Structure 1
Amino acid sequence: MTLFLNAAPNTPEGTYTETYIRGRNCAERLNGIFKARFRCIMGERKLRYDPDKVGHIINASAILHNICVEGRLDNNFEIEIQNDEADMGNQGVSS
């Protein structure tokens, strides 16, 4: 789709360009949200799967995202990785 650069406001070309820009802005924000929530999408700017599998991954991500939104789950979270070996080593030490 080609935009009309320097289109006058309130003309069909100007309306088309403005609508296109607003739609693209929404899509780019959604991509950013998906990449933040589902790190598997972020990768190297492409998924190394066949197109059918990529479609399933994106659909599953959208469903899970909608569940998180409905459940009011925050997108800002950190996963705490526990190191069992470090915990095991500290058990024998007393203060």
Structure 2
Amino acid sequence: MKAIWNNAVIAESDETKIVENNHYFPMASVKQEYLEESETHTRCPWKGKASYFNIKVKDKVNEDAAWYYPQASHAAKPIENYVAFWNGVEITG
């Protein structure tokens, strides 16, 4: 699977995990040079507190387009520190 935005491959892995129709990529498969920490946090009732990244490719920024659970709840441990994408990021197989 690949996560693509602004013609750049942001992440690529054969070991994504699908939860609620989102592909979660292992953190090691995500190209860190495209990520900027965001101040945004949300809470999922069953997964826990999510942290976000802005994606920056060339001169464009896609705010809060990636999220992950640094300390997932017990039920979501399999996706702890895995990254999911939205907001225009294309996921292809």
TM-score range, shorter chain: under 0.3
Q: TM-score, normalised by structure 1?
A: 0.21
Between Structure 1 and Structure 2, the one with more helix by share is: 1
Between structure 1 and structure 2, the one with the greater Rg is 1
Higher relative contact order (CA 8 A, sep 6+): 2
TM-score, reference length from structure 2: 0.21
